[in-house]
Amino acid sequence: VGYTPLRGPELAPDGERPERGSYQQVLLVERLPAAIARLNPQLTTAAREDALQQVRDLGIPALLSANRRLHQLLVTGVPVEVQRGGETLGDFARLIDWAEPSNNEWLAINQFTVKGPHHTRRPDIVLFVNGLPLVVIELKNVANEVVDVTDAYNQLQTYKDEIPSLFTYNAIMVAS
């Protein structure tokens, strides 16, 4: 469906092609700034860096509130200031190109390991758009008669408790 499949262990901090500095980091640190630059060529470098910093640090400790803030930034854009003609003006940095989806980068990463405050977990699949982990998918084997979709749902709830940083950026959870 347009996602590029990648293996989480390869992209891990100690993997063959690391894409994040630590297992605590859930954003793909090179893909997100590249997407901000690609989608917002009209903004100055300083404005794009400000947008990136606002996404990296939402400044809200409560998971649900931080998630709502990210949703707002995804829908409306990240508010930034730019200098034009000697004036300071407000603008917005887009994180996703809603009008032309092919301008976005779509990744499906399996076994994406995340280290939380006390636990390390590895969701089955995390879908990224422009370096943002927006969808977490937990799969269970239906051939196993003692496991059903409720177990996948419960596993997602455990992930929310044990690796909350992933769910700051999460928009959708899928249990199957």
pLDDT along the chain (176 residues), means of 10: 92 95 94 97 94 92 89 96 86 96 97 96 97 95 79 94 93 93
User: pTM for the complete prediction?
Assistant: 0.92
State the DSSP code for 102.
Answer: G
Q: Which two tokens stand for residue 7?
A: 């293996």
The alpha carbon of residue 175 and the mean position of all alpha carbons in its chain are separated, in whole angstroms, by 18
Tokens 């499949």: give the residue: 5
In this predicted structure, what is the pLDDT of residue 127?
98
- Whether the CB-CB separation of 138 and 157 falls below 8 Å is answered with no
Q: For position 146, what pLDDT does the model report?
A: 79
Q: What is the pLDDT of residue 149?
A: 85
The length of the chain in residues reads: 176
> CB within 8 A of 39, min separation 6: which ones?
93, 94, 95, 96, 97, 103, 130
Per-residue pLDDT at 88: 86
The alpha carbon dihedral of 138, 97, 48, 50 has a sign of negative
Written as six digits, the tokens of 99 are 């009008």
Residue 28: what pLDDT?
A: 95
Residue with tokens 């996404």: 55
Residue partners of 116: CB distance under 8 A and separation at least 6: 24, 162, 163, 164, 165
Q: Tokens 């709502």 map to which residue?
A: 68
Q: What are residue 115's DSSP bridge partners?
A: 120
Q: What pLDDT score does 136 carry?
A: 97
- Rg of the chain (C-alpha set): 17
